[in-house]
Structure 1
Amino acid sequence: MKAALKRMFYIVLIAFSTGCDLQGEKLQGSFEDSFGTLDGWSLKSMPSGASTSSTSPQIQATVSDQLDGYTAKVFSDSSCTSLLGSATINDGDVEISNLDLSSNYQTPTAITLYGRIDTSAGRKSDCTDLGLSFTYFPDNQLIVRASAFDLSSDKTVAYMISDSLDQLFKVELATGFRTLISGDDVGEGPEFVKPLGIAVSSDEQFAYVTDYNLAALIKVNLETGLREIISDSSTGSGTAFLSVNQVALSQDQTEAYISDNGLSSIVRVNLASGARSELSGGSVGSGVSLAEPGPLYLSASGTELYLIDTNLQDLIRIDVGTGNRTTISSDAVGTGTDFSNPAGLDFSADELTAYVSDADLGLFSVSVSSGNRTIISDNSTGTGDTFIDPGTIKWMSSSGALVLDATRDILVAVDLTNGNRTPEATSSTGGGPSFVSPTGLAVNDAVTKAYVIDSVLDALFVIDLVTAERTIVSNATTGTGTAFTAPQDLILNASETVAYVIDAVERAIFAVDLSNGNRTIISSGSVGTGTGFSAPFSITLNDTYTHAYVTDFGSNILYKIDLSNGNRTVASSGSVGTGTNFVLATELSLNQAESKAYVADTGPDCVYEVDIATGDRTVLSNSSTGTGPTLGDTTGVKLSADETFLYLTDANKDSLFQIDVLTGNRTLLSGPDVGFGPLFDSPQDTAFGSTSSKVLVIDANVRALFEVDTSTGVRRIVSR
């Protein structure tokens, strides 16, 4: 190939030696062709089209060694004016590794690469499209949301599968850089639908992924992202998959072993043909019957396969030759705390000790000879943030293991000698306790702090919008008074000394002292007069901070509450006011004059304008009122300061909308197809940011606080 390339460059060299002008059409075209049509220009360690948080992705190519000493340059624009990086050509090889994306991009950006070759005399080739592109996500903006992972042979890279994003990521453990290498628009082939298990080949060329919804084993090329089904109902013969779970590879990499919950067995798959046969379970092998086989571990000899049965809550050994099963540890074998919800399995190098992560209890060590179980890291053993949802575990050394905490989206390094837990690779932004299911959002007037309700943790957080640090202000162990049970929404008073929180289970409004977290119920079935709450959902205050307005999706009532005594008055309902009745009244906002309320109703997917004086309801926007994309599951609603637009989130369409309050016209500001950045997955509430074009959004499934630039739709995570 190099000989052919050298011939391509002879005309260029002649041009240099005779002093011809490289900008001449003929010579310029030759130089351009030699640069732009070369095979092999690639992004090192990731496919073109990938998303990455790496600040300096490497670009490589092979050119003619007649260009040695010249400079290959890479740019982000078609005129080759915005230089990203460069390298001197040496022996026909190009490797550009001095990109510094963090200095050039502060928000997620799609980058197309263009190239040029410069001579030592200052002559330049044409600016050429290299056919390479990627999306750069700064800081921790590229979210993984991993559900399982496997390690490279040298244990420096984690390959992480996400069953919620349907994507495969590569994570460099030393730097924390994350790269989307397959899924969505990266790599060709059938898309993942619900990938559950992953095993990486020893040469790190392929990953084998089980997909629950496809009932298939998929081979993924880790260089190109190409996906290929190698075994399913139409590929390969033999026992049909029912509910594939986890996967392990044979020592010679010719077979895969797959746990199948539907079959209650282990299926052996020939990786060349896709042929399937039962290895153990059903009528194959003796011993305890499998119920829901899950995580797998193949011994170094390749003769024994260990598994966790998540239904039996047993650690079981299978003879690969016969399929016979032996219980290694269970409630009847071995001593110690019984497993409760075992989720991950790995072994020490000598295979004398098994390590089992338990989503309820923490991390166990298990003696293979006796079955005795010992909890070595949990809420009371070891220091560091406690596990929330420990899953996949990988043994690293005699003193350490990596555990995936899926809820926190973090790899935790566990010291096996004392149980101490340290973040190893995380996509967190800001420190402090992690959200689990944030639903309500309020921001102070200075836009320096955001307050967030978490309906699973039953807690009120404060987030410093400068540092992204999260602090729990009030929960069962912080502050006095009745504890939250199902907090939904909140609003702040003018002086930022009190947060008013509604709780759907307590059926009450709490006043929370923000200086100490103390909670006082100010309106409930036993505090204040009037019709009691059924399932209060959203709260706002009038401009004088004397009254609160609350929607109740249980009784479909809009309440007005006197904050001085907790008395409740029905402002609008099926019996108060005219117009279409509420079906599932959820979010609301109020104008400054306290004459109009805007109420979202997720039953008919519409927004009502409510006359506060009469309770009359008028449809402001729905599928037949106003233009633009229709609403799906409206959550947060906020009225702009100039009262011309409503900003609202839609948990069904994972989008941020704007509604014109005069016409009801709807505009999609940010969502899956509008704007770059990490995607919403269940946006719940909104608040206004530091400028008129910035809106803050809280998302329950991503467990993050976003900032959205409404002029571009670009999203970035503020705290997670």
Structure 2
Amino acid sequence: MAFVGILSLLLIFFWQGAPTMAATNTERVGNGPALINPYGIVITGDDDAYVIDRGSSSVFLVDLSSGDRTVISGPERGVGPVTTEMRGVGIEPSLDSLLVADSNLKAVIRINIMSGDRTVVSDATRGTGPNIDVPRGVAVDSTGNVFVTDFSLDAVVEVDPTTGNRRVIAGPTSGGNVGTGPDLKQPHGIHASVNGYLYVTDVGWPAVIEINSTTGNRRLVSGTGPVLDAGSGPELSSLRGLTSQGPGTILVVDFNENEVISIDISNGNRKRISGPDVGSGVDLGLPVDAAVTSSGQIVVCDFTPPSVIAVDPLTGDRSVVTSVPKIGLQTPLYVAVLPSGRIVASDTGRRAIWLVDETTGDRAILSAADERGGGDAFTLPLQLIVLDDGDLVVVDDGTDAVVRVDFSTGNRTIISGKGVGTGREFISPRGLLQKSDGNLVVFDTGLTALINVNMKTGNRVVLSDASHGTGPLMHNVNSIIVLDDGTIVVGDAQSKLLTVNPANGNRQAIPVQGGDVAITEPWGLAVSSTGLVYVTYYQGAQAAIASVNPDNGMAFLVSSVSSTPAKRVGGGADMRSPAGCGVEQSGSLVVSDFYYGTVLRIDAVKGDRSVVTSATVGNTVDLDVLLSGSSNLYQSAFGLALVVVTLFLLF
């Protein structure tokens, strides 16, 4: 009888405990504060590794041997402007200061390694010359010259480290294009070589371009796009950081393909060093930068799962240097609400689509390679929509395709892209909506275009771009939605909010006006039952959701977390990086926060915030349990019955 009682206790433990045992794709390595969203890395000659972390607004010193993490600068260490959107990092020749590019501050910031103090080197108020707009990469040459890539200016800007004065050394200016050779189109990473040349990864082409730092003349090193094509080897997709691997060779990381690639500068030939098909060990998630140690080991900064990964340059094998894994959702970027009220979320960290119970917060994988469903694996699943038949459609910026997900099986089927359908191939699809006729519209950041996609054939036709339609150009779009009258609303990092006429592609800016609303880089979009557009955004010390009337631009804060009391709206759960947005039948909003790995519910009237699911709210369960109804109620009833039986048998 005692044996049976003990067995019952074990059943209770496994029944109640098993749902919380979420599989993680990284291990916990190293002590210290956790990385949230690391975005850049630089290593000194003594193998000190400095990592900039967008999520925590901090700079970390990472011990490459133990994985221990120490904050050297951040909100609680050092004085000066808080860096909230660090994108690139370099180190000055003196080795006592870092230089970082911050896209929210639109500035280059110097960070003292010893004190953590932060001072502005160059911004709109310090230095002369063209203002920095959307900085991405920073490089410092051996003499201390500072170079910044600007995603919006399509240029490389030299910054005087003493005065902050700025001048375009390659790219367009008011006086014409500086330098000859291929134009820059969304330059990102930058590396200053010892030979006086700069090497830039360009997301728009995609390509690697060499720049003479004196004349600005440019030479295509390697590329695989329809316009710039040079060198042989693996295709390039969405390039981020780069570094030198020795004389004549550079390393680049591909954000979409999860790879590290070496490129021969002389002929542009490419070779996979590490990736899904090369090397063993932990997978690269979304690699954003790389550096090389004095012994030649490659160290990769992985945006999500937030970690630093060591790569063997000979075998491509990968091991975790430092990481603190998240439980449950890792990097939820977009959400949608099903007719049943359940929530679906795309998770770039897990490369998966989750189904979330809107009441209990329990969650289960709906579709992901090796977990549920067949077909091509997700690489970078982004905006998603729900079809009338209950299936989902997702844009995948990694596979460069539009994917249909069968709700009942999790199977993934490409409906456009990667050889399916005719027309311009996708380069970097991000935004997605369905029109009233059942067909789709996709925004592609690489093509900087809205594309009509035939739902049945996958054929693609340009709806609006620089050559189709008039009005402000689109650049870096995160979300698109459609209004009841068919008008398309676009959230653009440069042009903010635009409406697009689906008949002729004409674009018009929405004149957002509202004293407390300052939408700098709109992320998620949703439409209320009354036609208002909800916009998520975060800038500096404010994370917010605003409502905007698309007809006149009148805007109001719906919910806001801010260091400025006057800009706070609503109470409850914290919010740091609101991204995707959906509307429930009750009128409440559901918003994903990729900083915390949570899904929030927001009262659209009061602005109050509550957690729907997180590492501490809801369990990770089997999908069958989630689909069967209230998993928590069932578990509780079953557990209670087992307790009663156990007590009876034991006593």
TM-score for both structures, normalised by structure 1: 0.46
Q: Is the 8 A contact 1:161 1:198 kept in 2?
A: no
Q: Tell me, yes or no, if structure 1 residue 182 matches structure 2 residue 73.
A: yes
Amino acid at match of 1:671: D
Q: Which residue of 1 is the match for residue 265 of structure 2?
A: 368
How big is the shift at 1:381? Answer: 2.0
Q: Which residue of 2 is the match for residue 152 of structure 1?
A: 44
Structure 1 residues 704 and 251, CA, compared in 2 at 3 Å: closer, same or farther? Answer: same
Q: Tell me, yes or no, if structure 1 residue 286 matches structure 2 residue 180.
A: yes
Structure 2 distance, partners of 1:681, 1:222, is: 31
How big is the shift at 1:308? Answer: 1.6
Structure 1 distance, partners of 2:38, 2:558, is: 21
Q: Which residue of 1 is the match for residue 632 of structure 2?
A: none
Q: Is the 8 A contact 1:141 1:717 kept in 2?
A: no
Structure 1 residues 139 and 473, CA, compared in 2 at 3 Å: closer, same or farther? Answer: farther
Q: Which residue of 2 is the match for residue 261 of structure 1?
A: 151
Structure 2 distance, partners of 1:178, 1:452, is: 35
Please list, as runs of the form range in 1=range in 2, the aligned pairs for 1:214-363 lying within 5 A after superposition: 214-253=105-144, 255-282=145-172, 283-301=177-195, 303-331=196-224, 332-349=229-246, 351-361=247-257, 362-363=259-260
Amino acid at match of 2:39: S
Q: Which residue of 2 is the match for residue 4 of structure 1?
A: none
What is the count of residue pairs matched by the alignment? Answer: 407
Deviations 1:640-696 (A, max 9, x none): xxxxxxxxxx995579xxxxxxxxxx9956537xxxxxx7867999xxxxxxxxxxx
Structure 2 distance, partners of 1:455, 1:300, is: 42
Q: Which residue of 2 is the match for residue 56 of structure 1?
A: none
Please list, as runs of the form range in 1=range in 2, the aligned pairs for 1:564-575 lying within 5 A after superposition: none
Structure 1 distance, partners of 2:370, 2:558, is: 31
Structure 1 residues 681 and 480, CA, compared in 2 at 3 Å: closer, same or farther? Answer: closer
Structure 2 distance, partners of 1:172, 1:208, is: 20
Structure 2 distance, partners of 1:288, 1:680, is: 36
Partner of 2:293, secondary structure, is: strand
Please list, as runs of the form range in 1=range in 2, the aligned pairs for 1:178-577 lying within 5 A after superposition: 178-253=69-144, 255-282=145-172, 283-301=177-195, 303-331=196-224, 332-349=229-246, 351-361=247-257, 362-396=259-293, 400-429=297-326, 436-437=332-333, 454-456=345-347, 457-459=351-353, 475=368, 477-478=370-371, 504-505=386-387, 507-508=389-390, 520=408
Structure 1 distance, partners of 2:170, 2:130, is: 12
Please list, as runs of the form range in 1=range in 2, the aligned pairs for 1:5-20 lying within 5 A after superposition: none
Q: Is the 8 A contact 2:329 2:598 kept in 1?
A: no
Amino acid at match of 1:150: V
Amino acid at match of 2:255: A
Partner of 2:156, secondary structure, is: strand
Amino acid at match of 2:233: G
Q: Is the 8 A contact 1:280 1:318 kept in 2?
A: yes
Structure 2 distance, partners of 1:257, 1:411, is: 25
How big is the shift at 1:392? Answer: 0.7
Q: Is the 8 A contact 1:140 1:427 kept in 2?
A: no
Structure 1 distance, partners of 2:326, 2:214, is: 49
Q: Which residue of 2 is the match for residue 671 of structure 1?
A: 574
Structure 1 distance, partners of 2:375, 2:255, is: 29
How big is the shift at 1:310? Answer: 2.0
Structure 1 residues 342 and 401, CA, compared in 2 at 3 Å: closer, same or farther? Answer: same
Q: Is the 8 A contact 2:329 2:597 kept in 1?
A: no
Partner of 2:289, secondary structure, is: strand
Structure 2 distance, partners of 1:482, 1:256, is: 46
Q: Is the 8 A contact 1:291 1:312 kept in 2?
A: yes
Structure 2 distance, partners of 1:409, 1:248, is: 23
Structure 2 distance, partners of 1:335, 1:509, is: 39
How big is the shift at 1:251? Answer: 0.8
Q: Which residue of 1 is the match for residue 495 of structure 2?
A: none
How big is the shift at 1:297? Answer: 1.1
Gaps of 5+ in 1: 1-137, 442-450, 463-469, 486-501, 511-517, 522-533, 535-553, 555-600, 605-630, 634-649, 656-665, 673-678, 686-696, 707-712
How big is the shift at 1:416? Answer: 2.0
TM-score for both structures, normalised by structure 2: 0.51
Q: Is the 8 A contact 1:160 1:171 kept in 2?
A: no
RCO higher in 1 or 2 (8 Å CA, sep ≥ 6)?
2
Larger Rg: 1
How big is the shift at 1:602? Answer: 8.0
Amino acid at match of 1:386: D
Q: Which residue of 1 is the match for residue 454 of structure 2?
A: none
Q: Which residue of 2 is the match for residue 124 of structure 1?
A: none
Gaps of 5+ in 2: 1-29, 357-362, 379-383, 393-405, 410-437, 439-481, 483-526, 531-543, 547-556, 563-568, 583-589, 600-610, 621-651
Partner of 1:147, secondary structure, is: strand
How big is the shift at 1:371? Answer: 0.9
